Amino acid sequence: MSLFKPTRLTPKQIEQRKELQAKGRMHFVLYRGVLGWGVSCFIATTLWGWHHKYGWHLPPVHEIWLPDIVIGLPIWLLAGYWWGAWMWKRYFPSTVTGDYK
């Protein structure tokens, strides 16, 4: 059950989806999920946390690496992979299940 009624895709959207599908799933997941969503969320949450903790000042270098980058970056990259795979499944449900209609 969807919250919104699905609408028909315009011809331009259909062409864009065909181009995405031609590039492949891994390209989509890497660029849209990992790099597009995961890295941008990592940057946003890291900057937000630094601002909350240090205000408008840069944090000390020894406090940046471990909690923020070494732990936060892999978590957000993995979340980006999952998000990209989920979006691929939403964009192209027939390629995931094998039903070509």
What would the pLDDT profile of 69-92 be if each residue is shown by its tens digit?
Answer: 888 999 999 999 999 999 999 998
Closest to 69 (Cα-Cα) out of 88, 53, 45, 86:
45
Helix residue ranges per DSSP H, 36-71 = 39-54, 61-64
Looking at the predicted structure, is the pLDDT value of residue 55 above 90?
Answer: no
- Domain locations in the chain as residue ranges: 25-95
- Enter the pTM of the model: 0.78
Closest to 21 (Cα-Cα) out of 97, 93, 99:
93
Neighbours of 31 (CB within 10 A): 14
